[in-house]
A and B are shown apart, each in its own frame.
Chain A
Amino acid sequence: MAIDIQMPALSPTMEEGTLSKWLVKEGDTVRSGDILAEIETDKATMEVESIDEGTVGKIVVAAGTDNVKVGAVILQLLEEGESASDLGAATAAPEPAPVQAETSPEPMSEPTPAPVMSSSAPMTAQIANDPDIPTNIKMVETTVRDALRDAMAEEMRRDETVFVMGEEVAQYQGAYKVTRDLLQEFGERRVIDTPITEHGFAGIGCGAAMGGLRPIVEFMTWNFAMQAIDHIINSAAKTLYMSGGQMRCPIVFRGPNGAASRVGAQHSHDYSSWYANVPGLKVVAPYDAADAKGLLKAAIRDPNPVVFLEHELLYGESFDVPDMDDFLIPIGKAKIRRIGTDVTLVAHSRMVGRCLEAAEILAGAGIDAEVIDLRTIRPLDSDTVIESVKKTNRLVCAEEGWGQSGIGAEIAARVVAEAFDYLDAPPERVFQVDVPLPYAANLEAMSLPGTEDVVAAAKKVCYVD
């Protein structure tokens, strides 16, 4: 049988890509290490090498094909002594079989991404109007990644003192391509590659902010920012207070936070509750692209240090973003994403998508859930949550991080303290299992909270089986 060469996964989160170019043609002899094709993902263009030897029997996916799923057969290779008659039918849809990557197979353990809700979805009636977005404004479908990039570019055009620094933000165009094209537009004075020294460049960023600039410090992931946490807290957050209001530190620390996909415990930590604990910081964790853009612009203009927690698994998701010259969302305001009457589901970042999915499932069971996207977790807009609970009388808090001292614990405490008499059931919390995130696909899936966990918690507070 011929060897099937499959579309490789080139990053832990890649699900599909564009087969931009073939570097071999049918009939060519291929040796191990030869470059077969160029593949473009949303992050980068990469070359696919052969790990087998043989003759190119059939090119299954033509050059220029978009949205080729990871695992799809793209080429069939004939081994020595085989001929075209040995070519089997290439399976169009991939088996759940491991993907042929360079060395390690990377089955996509991540469940299918949440179906994206947009204002054009059929459930418009249930979606709350966003007071931040004027009616009749044109919407443009944008990925979270590009929305963040656009926010930075717009603010850099507006204010000469805004600059970006971090690892691989300039020439490499961003490890996750969030800073793509910024170097080209703004040059190396304002888009600055740093050495791999988080503690040092976070400190230099704080000093630059004290010296009159507005730095955007990108951490390749928030996991690495633990090296720099002293400056985030001791230098950035506390200085205004310690100086009796004299010293300003207007700085944005941003990057992906929380679990990605199969990257293990040290690269999968959700720091929401860590930073939410610290007065002197603002902490933002958006879900969709519009919020990512409007909140990042607001964060860059904010005179205070802002911790901006993004989510790697949302970078590639597309949402409607209003086509406005200057679209800002005020920090500190939650958003009701779905209006409901029976139970309040509260989340931030990616868990908002899970809650929206859960709400659909619950609707099928006759439970009408209200979904609140916190958007900002410090200052925490508990008023919006409490008002909702006064109506629904039931609360579920969902987060990707661990439960102890978590965001859900804080919200539950506030709701119990301020709306105790309105509750018809004890609040429920949904969170990550209390272990470091495991690598194995099955264990990882068991660790992270998902839609079903939210559904179960909602049913529990509604006393429904």
Chain B
Amino acid sequence: MAASKKTKPKKSTLKVGQDELLGYYRDMLLIRRFEEKAGQLYGMGQIAGFCHLYIGQEAVVVGCRSAMQEGDQMITGYRDHGHMLACGMESRGVMAELTGRSGGYSRGKGGSMHMFSTEKKFYGGHGIVGAQVPLGAGLGFANKYLDNGAVSLAFFGDGASNQGQVYETFNMAKLWDLPVVFVIENNQYAMGTSVERSSAETELFKRGISFEIEGVQVDGMNVMAVRDAAQKAITHARSGKGPMILEMKTYRYRGHSMSDPAKYRSRDEVTKTRSESDPIDMVRARLLDEKWADDDSLKAIDKEIKAIVADAAEFAQTSPEPDPSELYTDVLLDAEV
């Protein structure tokens, strides 16, 4: 049951195919460019409230998603734009929700932190730190009850990993061997508080030991390493052996939210991470090394992604605000009784 060893960030030599790697590149780049655009729209006052960008962490969700099967579910906290795009939700609908327009996934009533797609098996989008963890285990509970073979992936950060309900959930998830994978996105700062300053045990993959939950620390900047770890954990959960914990060591380049000046860490720290272990640069280098792509073909992908994001931004700014009548809808469903 012991937690396994760390893997160190390195140039990835993990096994991967051409189409697969190009897919990762495209998916991660879409998230990156989407988030950059969201940041820009926020600065223009088109997006309001809280807006938590995923820039730097793209490999975590893209790697996990590639290990998931049809019917598997995903749930996360408030830093959720990347997860939605990885699940195949439309850029337009996500961006229009950020701008609070009727074309958004929640028709403008949810905002950045509250979007869902039952069709794409994305269950939110939750604003209360840690709440998505029991909810995700509950999805796993339903999977087991319905015997549908699906696995639920519950994403949360290093900050949420100190919440009491996370441990209540670990206990029940293992007690009942629920098909759920707990993905801790350790970006090293809970808002402004570093893991060292907030956590007695900083190796978060060990947090399941007293619940007999196996934990693995993963280089969350390496999409192939993420994929491999996620495949193993998902297979474990699907086979009826219960949950696993994946600690993804990752990093966010931007502040906690748009309103965070990020004074708690040095500029150098951010720059160093960006230059040495950027998940997209790593994949790009490998594509070029393997001669699976050249500068021109990568430029073509960049252009294509840019167009998708520009279209989403255009849609998000032109989609009308919700009709005033929407104020009163979706509070309760009609009872069939």
- Given A200-B169, A211-B141, A328-B337, A280 and B135 touching (CB < 8 A)? no
- Cα distance, A304 to B337, chains bound together (Å): 12
User: How many Å lie between the Cα of A211 and that of B73 in the bound state?
Assistant: 9
A189 on the interface (CB 8 Å rule)? Answer: yes
* CB-based contact A197/B168 at 8 Å: yes
A241 lies within 8 A of B330 (CB): yes
Question: In residues 372-386 of chain A, which contact B (Cβ within 8 Å)?
Answer: none
Residue B77 CB within 8 A of the other chain? no
Interface segment, one of B34-42, B100-108, B235-243, B309-317: B100-108
Shortest CB–CB separation between residue B80 and chain A, in angstroms? 12
Does B333 make an interface contact (CB < 8 A)? yes
Name the A residues within 8 Å of B114 (CB-CB): 239, 242-243
The stretch of B142-150, B246-254, B255-263, B267-275 that contacts the partner chain: B142-150
Segment with Cβ contacts to B, from A66-74, A177-185, A229-237: A229-237
Whether B168 lies near A195 (C-beta < 8 A) is yes
The answer to whether B337 and A204 have CB atoms under 8 Å apart is no
- Residues in A neighbouring B336, C-beta threshold 8 A: 301, 303
Return A78 CB to nearest CB of chain B, in Å.
52
Nearest chain A CB to B51 CB, angstrom units: 16
Which residue of chain A lies nearest to B117 when distances are taken between CB atoms in the complex? A246
Separation in Å of the B83 CB from the closest CB of chain A?
A: 15
Q: Which single residue of chain A is at the shortest CB-CB distance from B166?
A: A200
Instruction: Flag if A279 contacts B331 (CB, 8 Å).
Output: yes
CB contacts (< 8 Å) of B137 on chain A: these are: 203-204, 207
Asked if A282 and B116 make an inter-chain contact with CB atoms under 8 angstroms apart, the answer reads no
User: B266 on the interface (CB 8 Å rule)?
Assistant: no
Shortest C-beta distance, A294 to chain B (Å), equals: 10
Determine how close the nearest CB of chain A comes to the CB of B322; give it in whole angstroms: 9
Expressed in whole angstroms, the minimum distance between the Cβ of B328 and any Cβ of chain A is 10
Judge whether A433 is part of the interface by a CB distance below 8 angstroms.
Answer: no
Residues of B within 8 A of A199 (CB): 134, 164-165, 168
Knowing A210-B123, A241-B109, A246-B106 touch, does A204 contact B330 (C-beta < 8 A)? no
Interface residues of B in 165-220 (CB under 8 A from A): 165, 167-169, 171-172, 175
CB pair A163 B106 closer than 8 Å = no
How close is A463's CB to chain B, nearest CB, in angstroms?
41
Residues 218-245 of chain A, each 1 if its beta carbon lies under 8 Å from chain B, else 0: 0000000000001100110001111111
List 3 A-B pairs, minimum CB-CB distance, nearest first. A207-B138, A203-B134, A200-B168
Residue of A nearest to B170 (CB): A200
Partner of B335, one of A211, A241, A244, A304: A304
- Determine if B139 and A208 form an interchain contact, defined as CB atoms under 8 angstroms apart: yes
**Of all chain A residues, which has the CB nearest B127?**
A234
Assess whether B115 is interfacial by the CB under 8 Å rule.
yes
Residues A197 and B171 in contact, CB atoms below 8 Å apart? yes
Whether B331 lies near A203 (C-beta < 8 A) is: no
In the complex, chain B residues whose CB is within 8 Å of the CB of A194: 172
Asked if B297 lies at the interface with its beta carbon under 8 angstroms from chain A, I say: no
Q: Does any Cβ of B come within 8 Å of A209's Cβ?
A: yes
Asked if B63 is at the interface of the complex by the 8 Å CB criterion, the answer is no
Give CA–CA (A231, B336) in the complex, Å.
24
Q: Cβ of A200 and Cβ of B171 under 8 Å apart?
A: yes
Say yes or no: B109 contacts A204, CB within 8 Å.
no
Which residues of A lie under 8 Å from residue B333 when comparing CB positions?
A: 240, 248, 303-304
Cβ of A213 under 8 Å from chain B? yes
Complex interface: chain A residues within 8 A of B171 (CB): 195, 197, 200
B294-321 vs A, CB cutoff 8 Å, 1 = contact: the mask equals 0000000000000000000000000000
Contacts of A200 in B (CB 8 A): 134, 165, 167-169, 171-172
Identify which of A201, A204, A231, A247 contacts B116 (C-beta below 8 A): A247
Bound CA–CA A213/B109 (angstroms): 25
In the complex, the answer to whether A239 meets B141 with C-beta atoms within 8 Å is no
Alpha-carbon distance A160/B114, docked complex (angstroms): 30
A235–B131 contact, CB under 8 A? yes
Within 8 Å of chain A (Cβ to Cβ): is B14?
A: no
A203 with B332: CB separation less than 8 A:
no
Q: Which residues does chain A contribute within 8 Å of B104, judged by CB atoms?
A: 244
Interface status of A212 (Cβ within 8 A of chain B): yes
Q: Interface readout for A330-358 with B: 1 if CB under 8 Å, 0 if not?
A: 11000000000000000000000000000
Q: Which residues of B contact A303 (CB under 8 A)?
A: 333-336
Q: Which residues of A contact B140 (CB under 8 A)?
A: 207
Q: Is B118 close to A, CB under 8 A?
A: yes
Residue total for A at the interface (Cβ-Cβ under 8 A):
46
Interface residues of A in 270-312 (CB under 8 A from B): 279-280, 282, 298, 301-304
B128 close to A (CB within 8 Å): yes
Cross-chain contact A240 with B131 (CB below 8 angstroms): no
Asked if A203 contacts B109 (CB within 8 A), the reply is no
Q: Residue on A with the closest CB to B332?
A: A304
Tell me the bound Cα distance from A209 to B123 in angstroms: 12
Render B154-169 as a binary contact track against A, CB cut-off 8 A, 1 for contact.
0000000000110111
Return chain A residues, CB-CB under 8 Å to B145.
Answer: 161, 163, 189, 208, 213
Check A208–B117 contact: CB distance below 8 A: no
CB pair A243–B106 under 8 Å, yes or no, is: yes
A322 at the interface (CB under 8 A from B): no
Contacts of B109 in A (CB 8 A): 241-242, 244
Our pick among B138, B168, B330 for the contact of A206 (Cβ within 8 Å) is B138
Shortest CB-to-CB span from B183 to chain A, Å, is: 16
| 18 A-B contacts (beta carbon < 8 Å) | A197-B172, A199-B164, A200-B168, A200-B172, A204-B172, A207-B136, A208-B138, A211-B142, A240-B330, A240-B333, A242-B125, A243-B125, A246-B118, A279-B331, A298-B335, A302-B335, A302-B337, A304-B335
The answer to whether A230 and B330 touch (CB under 8 A), given A244-B104, A303-B335, is: no
Of all chain A residues, the one with the shortest Cβ separation from B154 is A207
- Name A244's contact: one of B107, B152, B332 (CB within 8 Å): B107
Query: B332–A243 contact, CB under 8 A?
Result: no
Q: Please tell me if A205 contacts chain B, counting CB pairs below 8 Å.
A: yes
In the assembled complex, the Cα of A161 lies from the Cα of B286 at a distance in Å of 48
A207 and chain B: residue at smallest CB distance: B138
Closest residue of chain A to B142 (Cβ to Cβ) is: A211
CA distance A161 to B104 in the complex (A): 31
Q: Is the CB of A240 within 8 A of B141?
A: no
Asked if B134 contacts A242 (CB within 8 A), the reply is: no
Decide if B329 is an interface residue (CB 8 Å cutoff): yes
Considering the chains assembled together, what is the distance between the CA atoms of A209 and B333 in angstroms? 14
Q: Known interface pairs A235-B131, A241-B331, A244-B106. Does A301 touch B136 (Cβ–Cβ under 8 Å)?
A: no
Contact A243 to B139, CB < 8 A, known contacts A195-B168, A213-B146, A235-B126: no
Say whether B153 faces chain A, with CB atoms less than 8 Å apart.
no
Take A189-B145, A195-B168, A304-B333 as given contacts and tell me if A203 and B118 are in contact as well, using a CB distance cutoff of 8 Å.
Answer: no
Beyond A240-B331, A247-B123, 12 extra complex contacts between A and B, CB < 8 Å: A161-B146, A200-B171, A203-B131, A204-B137, A204-B138, A208-B142, A210-B135, A211-B142, A234-B127, A235-B131, A241-B330, A246-B117
A242 touches B106 (CB 8 A): yes
Shortest C-beta distance, A342 to chain B (Å), equals 35
B62 at the binding interface (Cβ < 8 Å) = no
Contact B106–A203 (Cβ < 8 Å)? no
Choice from B108, B116, B133, B334 contacting A203 with Cβ under 8 Å:
B133
**A203-B165, A208-B142, A303-B333 given as contacts; is B116 within 8 A of A243 (CB)?**
yes
Q: Are A204 and B141 in contact, with the CB atoms below 8 A?
A: yes
Contacts of B138 in A (CB 8 A): 203-211
